[in-house]
Amino acid sequence: MAANVTEITGTETKAGDGSALDALIDFYGAFNSGDLEALAAVWAEGDAPSMDNPIGGIRRGWKAISEGYAKLFGGLATVQVAFHDFTSQGGSDWHLFVGRERGYCKTPYTRLELRFRTTRWFVKIGGVWRQLHHHGSIDEPRLLADYQRAIFGAPLGNR
């Protein structure tokens, strides 16, 4: 894979070197295809992982995180995102990706163009990069409300 990758959708050719970037590509491939089993292979197991985003809320532990993904994948909405405008830094056993996601949320009733700020933190566990934390947020109040309405039927504050 080229070192100067500027966008990740999960369809990129991986370097095959077991890098954190390869794990990030695996995450987006699994998410964009709605593959819960493949997501489980990317996330850390047990109670340690955490996630905070506008649809999943705050979730702690792989079990709670996977339940959130299962609800999203089993619902009426299709969500596709690409990671871009990001920085990448890390050490021998940790790696942090900070950037933006863009994409869409499509239901039988609407289509929204999505824009998130996103952080993904990976750690090396047993020699394999696993995602330990994800934080995503939407800066635009109207877009946030529309996204929550598309997924839940109403913004979270109105449910």
Residue 29: what residue type? G
Confidence (pLDDT) at 4: 77
**19-45 as b/e, with b when 16 or more CB fall inside 10 Å?**
bbbbbbbbbbbbbbebbeeebeebbbe
Per-residue pLDDT reduced to its tens digit, 4-32: 789 999 999 999 999 999 999 999 999 99
Phi-psi domain of 72 (left: phi exceeds 0; alpha: psi -120 through 50; beta: other): alpha
Give 140: exposed, middle or buried? Use CB within 10 Å, 0-12, 13-18, 19+: exposed
pLDDT computed for residue 152 by the predictor? 87
> Domain spans of the chain?
7-158
Stronger pLDDT, 19 or 156, i.e. the higher one: 19
Whether 159 has a pLDDT exceeding 80, the answer reads: no
Res. 112: pLDDT tops 90 = yes
Does residue 157 surpass a pLDDT of 70? no
Q: What is the pTM of this model?
A: 0.94
Which CATH code fits 7-158? 3.10.450.50
Going by pLDDT thresholds of 50, 70 and 90, the confidence category of residue 153 is: confident
Is the predicted pLDDT of residue 2 greater than 50, yes or no? Answer: no
